[in-house]
Structure 1
Amino acid sequence: MKRPLVSLFLLVFLIGLGVYFFTPLGPKLRGYAGRLWSKNAVALKTDRQISEEAYGWQLTDTDGNPHGFTEAKGKVVFLNFWATWCGPCLKEMPDIQNLYDDYGDQVRFLLVTQEDRAKVDAFLQKKKYTLPIYFTDTADIPEEIASKSMPTTYILDKSGKIARAETGAADWNGSEVRAMLDRLLAE
């Protein structure tokens, strides 16, 4: 009696994995799972300094042009790791777009993903986002800003110190964040 029950459980489990990873329903399920695991933003350690080695990190923009993280050196930086399948990422994206619309000429925005360019381009066109998107490989991300959670966002001051770091969806267009950016820009 145990054997058929175990076999049935294994079959259901394998079908579930197949749906999760290999069907059009998969991204919706992954987004839902992301919302369950990331209900609220969680503050991470701040006041850590970005190392000189981290500025060697290489990114690629949506046109395929290479950019070094060194371009952000000496600037206030808004760095966000995101994905199109990540529900909490999608939840905070309109706030980030609004913040970028107001601060994009003063703050260096880096929205970093590891997804396929065509998928990201289609997403950006559909949503009409004008955010500066960059691509990277997991192995290239500097250790002090690498995260296994999405979204993860860092705000760096001009000296490269982490002024704010959070994982999970957050209100990035709120008065608290704007006041912080104004303060960091004035320093």
Structure 2
Amino acid sequence: MRPRSLRLAFVLACAAGRAASAADFSADFGQAARPVTVKGWVKNPPPGAPGAVDFSAYKGRVVLLERWATWCGPCVAKIPALIDLQAKYKDDLALVSLSEEEAEKVRSYFKKTTLKKLDPSRPDTPLEEAVNYSAAVMDPKDPSIDVYFGFLRGVPSFYVIGRDGRIARAVVGSYDEVLREVERLLSASGPTAAEQKDARESTSIEKEKGRLTKEVTKLGSPSDPAARAAGAVKHLRLAEIAERSLARRPWEFDARDDRLRALESAWHLSEAAERPALRRRIAAARDELFAFNASTRTYPLSWSQFAEMVLPGDYALMDPPLALKAIERAQNPAKASDGDRVWDMVHMTTARVYLMNGRPVEAAAWAEKALKEVHPVRRGYLTARAEYHRALAAMAGDLAGVRAEGRKRLASDAAAAKALSGGRAARLEL
């Protein structure tokens, strides 16, 4: 779920197809929202605009533009709330949800998934019947899309458009903040001057973050010491921006997530002498994020995703005990998040956590569960096979051969998946 670069480009200016340069539109606070091109509609297309979301057609209504994905746990966990939001405000609100996945994949997800799966208190109604808002698929490289989500690349991310057709707020991840903004805009008096100032500052912070993110993305992982030092400084600046966001909104999840990721990236680019201090800051940020996630009923991050977060690829940054605490919460029905209930990779993650904590018997059992629940062609299945055999190697006491055996099994399963999928190459990681 992460924001990346803001790439200024041209946008499609009107339904007639005239182009406008990015010099006069950059999806800033207060600007009139420009049309968004879509590849196709999956649910409830608006009248009169088969190939676009034309915000001028919604004048007098608040528009909530969402970017989401079927694989995003926090995204799908909020679908029931979005249905309720649209039902509550009816003609005063237009909710438009965009995915960069193929239309058939989104339709299939809506057909196979029920409200009850996302929220046990709901009826067993398929989403294809329950979803009451507009849903479409889009090309993220389309200029009309990129100018909005070029720096809000995480999912879910939102733009809130006021009744006057102007951009009121840009938000990554925080549904609670989106809900507050929608309710402010729909109130009889509208947002106050202080609330408008807050929205302007919030959007400004997101754009500064987008500019820096673009720079560090372009930088990558350089070998030149001077470039690495410059990159570390930029990442630390991103951590400071996240701190600014937290000072203004202590309830924000994404600012905590941004801070943690920025500190980890700075650690990778830092000199050896600087790493111990950064490692302590990373540990503190993780502990604070764990406590925040445990203190809110909305669970912005599923516990299985949190476990993945604290087990990155670099062993020096892994925190297996904290990952185990997260997985134990995911297994507790009273503490598990909505994402833990719907994310089909949770068993595989659990296997990895137990393996990293020196408990190979439990790891093998959870990997076996993953094998039974993920389709063979999917990457999750292949990685689960690798985790399973890593666990078996660990049980045999051959710790040095664990990773080698995992890679060996992964290569074998990749060939099998290619055959099963009609020759399509499988994208694999270990």
After TM superposition, the score normalised by the length of structure 1 is 0.62
Ranges in structure 2 where 5+ consecutive residues have no aligned partner: 4-26, 115-126, 192-430
Could you give the per-residue CA deviations for residues 130-168 of structure 1, whole angstroms, max 9, x where no partner exists? 131011101220514442111101111123322232111
Pairwise CA RMSD of aligned residues?
3.2
| AA aligned opposite 1:58 | T
User: What is residue 140 of structure 2 aligned with on the other side?
Assistant: 138
CA contact (8 A) 2:184 2:190 kept: no
Residues 142 and 50 of structure 1: CA distance in aligned 2, closer, same or farther (over 3 Å):
farther
Residue 91 of structure 2, aligned match among 84, 96, 105: 105
CA contact (8 A) 1:152 1:167 kept: yes
User: What is residue 61 of structure 1 aligned with on the other side?
Assistant: 41
Residues 132 and 80 of structure 1: CA distance in aligned 2, closer, same or farther (over 3 Å):
same
**What is the CA-CA distance between 1:71 and the residue it aligns to?**
5.0
CA contact (8 A) 2:155 2:173 kept: yes
Q: Which has the higher strand share?
A: 1
Count the aligned residue pairs: 142
Residues 71 and 143 of structure 1: CA distance in aligned 2, closer, same or farther (over 3 Å):
closer
Indicate the structure whose relative CO is greater, using CA pairs within 8 Å and at least 6 residues apart. Answer: 1
Residues 50 and 155 of structure 1: CA distance in aligned 2, closer, same or farther (over 3 Å):
same
Question: What is the distance in 2 between the residues matched to 1:67 and 1:185?
Answer: 34
Residue 49 of structure 1, aligned match among 28, 31, 42: 31
Q: Which has the higher helix share?
A: 2
**What is the CA-CA distance between 1:94 and the residue it aligns to?**
1.7
**What is the CA-CA distance between 1:107 and the residue it aligns to?**
1.5
Counterparts in 2 of 1:145-164, with a 5 A limit? 145-146=149-150, 147-164=152-169
**What is the CA-CA distance between 1:83 and the residue it aligns to?**
0.3
Counterparts in 2 of 1:1-187, with a 5 A limit? 34=1, 47-50=29-32, 54-55=34-35, 57-59=36-38, 60-62=40-42, 66-73=50-57, 74=59, 75-125=61-111, 126-127=113-114, 128=127, 129-130=130-131, 131-140=133-142, 141-146=145-150, 147-171=152-176, 176-177=180-181, 179-183=183-187
**What is the CA-CA distance between 1:99 and the residue it aligns to?**
0.2
Q: Considering only CA atoms, is the larger Rg found in Structure 1 or Structure 2?
A: 2
Residues 181 and 163 of structure 1: CA distance in aligned 2, closer, same or farther (over 3 Å):
same
Percent identity between matched residues is 23
CA contact (8 A) 2:155 2:172 kept: yes
Question: What is the distance in 1 between the residues matched to 2:81 and 2:154?
Answer: 19
| AA aligned opposite 2:162 | D
CA contact (8 A) 2:92 2:186 kept: no
